[in-house]
Homo-oligomer: A and B are copies of this chain.
């Protein structure tokens, strides 16, 4: 008798997928429950049977993104050059999955507002990303693989900012931006060894 539960779980996943796509295309505020429900083939009242409020659905989308990220980092790389290569590879993955970039960029921009329901999520996200990359740059510095005068903390901060900025520019003028090449270039200019 778990059939009902299974079907419900699948439906929930479908709704989260549709919501993530809508948030990427339209932003969170402009994605109505009716629009998301239509993509799944139900009514907006039906959607509210699975997620009690609009914010609860957003929370579910962010939770799934975190879970996916955790999965990917399970095969976790030791701090150092490999982490940087990992991020370049991630950029390559993103180029083939623009929906992920859309979702992240649109939400990040909306969420600068302190009262946006995803604000705290992004505050945590930035801190975690910065800490992780900072650690790698510290390791590189200790090994003498960083160019002279490169401060690990600054390098981490600017590296993340660069990724985010490149993504927005790439979404706006796709033909003008080589996401992977630019990232590799910027990274290389911080290192004293080939990436």
Is A123 located at the chain interface by the 8 A CB criterion? yes
Contact (Cβ within 8 A) A126 B189: no
Contact (Cβ within 8 A) A158 B166: yes
Q: Which residues of B contact A111 (CB under 8 A)?
A: 172
Nearest B residue to A123 by beta-carbon distance?
A: B173
Interface of A is mostly: helix
A110–B160 alpha-carbon span in the complex (Å): 20
User: Interface range on chain A: under 10, 10 to 19, 20 to 34, or 35 or more?
Assistant: 35 or more
A26–B166 alpha-carbon span in the complex (Å): 23
A111–B27 alpha-carbon span in the complex (Å): 11
Contact with B along A162-179 (1 / 0, CB 8 A): 111110110111001100
Q: Which residues of B contact A85 (CB under 8 A)?
A: none
Nearest B residue to A181 by beta-carbon distance?
A: B154
Contact (Cβ within 8 A) B149 A160: no
A166–B154 alpha-carbon span in the complex (Å): 11
A positions within 8 Å CB-CB of B: 25-27, 29-30, 102, 105-106, 108-113, 119, 122-123, 126-127, 130, 147, 149-151, 154-155, 157-158, 160-166, 168-169, 171-173, 176-177, 181-182, 185-186, 188-190
